[in-house]
Amino acid sequence: MKRRLAVVAALVAALTAAACGSNSDNSSTTSAGAGPTSAAATSAAATSAAATSDAGTSSAAGSDAGSADASATDTAASSGGAGGELPPINEATLDGAVVGFAQVGSESGWRSANTDDIKATAEKYKVDLQFTSAEGEQAKQIASIKTFITQGVDVIAFSPVVETGWDAVLQEAKAANIPVILTDRAVDSDPSLYKTFIGSDFIKEGEKAGNWAKTEFADADEVNYVVLEGTTGSAPANDRAEGWDNILGSETKFKKLASQTGKFTRDDGKKVMEGFLAKYPNIDLLYAHNDDMGLGAIEAIEAAGKVPGKDIKIVSVDAVKAGMEALAAGKINYIVECSPLLGEQLFQAVGGVLDGKEIPARVITIEGEFNQEQAKEALPTRKY
Ligand code: GYE
Looking at residue 29, its pLDDT comes to 55
Query: Ligand 1 pocket check: which of 267, 318, 342 to mutate, most ligand atoms within 8 Å of Cβ?
Result: 318
- Strands lying side by side in the sheet with 223-229: 254-261, 223-229, 285-288, 313-318, 334-337, 369-370
Cβ-count burial 196-213 (b if 16+ within 10 Å, e if not): bbbbbbbbbbbbbbbbbb
Task: Give the tens place of pLDDT for each residue, 91-135.
Answer: 999 999 999 999 999 999 999 999 999 999 999 999 999 999 999
The residue-averaged pLDDT of 212-224 equals: 98
Q: Which residue has the higher pLDDT, 44 or 270?
A: 270
Q: Which residue has the higher pLDDT, 382 or 6?
A: 382
Is 46 a residue whose pLDDT tops 90? no
Is 345 a residue whose pLDDT tops 70? yes
The residue-averaged pLDDT of 188-217 equals: 98
Residues with CB under 6 A from ligand 1: 107-108, 110-111, 184-185, 236, 264, 290, 292, 317-318, 338
State in Å: Cα 175 to ligand 1 middle.
Answer: 30
Task: Give the tens place of pLDDT for each residue, 274-298.
Answer: 999 999 999 999 999 999 999 999 9
Looking at residue 28, its pLDDT comes to 59
Q: How many CA atoms lie less than 13 Å away from 335 in the CB half-sphere? A: 35
Is 352 a residue whose pLDDT tops 50? yes
Give yes or no for a contact between 323 and 335, defined as CB atoms under 8 angstroms apart. Answer: yes
Rounded distance, CA 324 to CA 370, Å? 8
Looking at residue 185, its pLDDT comes to 97
Is 229 a residue whose pLDDT tops 60? yes
Please state at what angle helix 109-124 crosses helix 321-328, rounded to 10 degrees: 130
Is 167 a residue whose pLDDT tops 60? yes
Model confidence at 27, pLDDT cuts 50, 70, 90, reads low
**CA-wise closest residue to 328 among 373, 288, 296:** 373
4-13, 195-204, 226-235: range with lowest mean pLDDT:
4-13
Looking at residue 383, its pLDDT comes to 87
Model confidence at 9, pLDDT cuts 50, 70, 90, reads very low
**CA-closest residue to ligand 1 atom 9:** 110
**CA-closest residue to ligand 1 atom 8:** 236
Give yes or no for a contact between 27 and 198, defined as CB atoms under 8 angstroms apart. Answer: no
Residue-range domains of the chain with CATH: 26-31+71-200+339-367 (3.40.50.2300), 202-337 (3.40.50.2300)
The pTM for the full model equals: 0.83
Mean pLDDT for all residues in the chain: 84
Give yes or no for a contact between 326 and 379, defined as CB atoms under 8 angstroms apart. Answer: no
Q: Which residue has the higher pLDDT, 56 or 270?
A: 270
Report the 10 Å Cβ neighbour count for 11.
Answer: 12
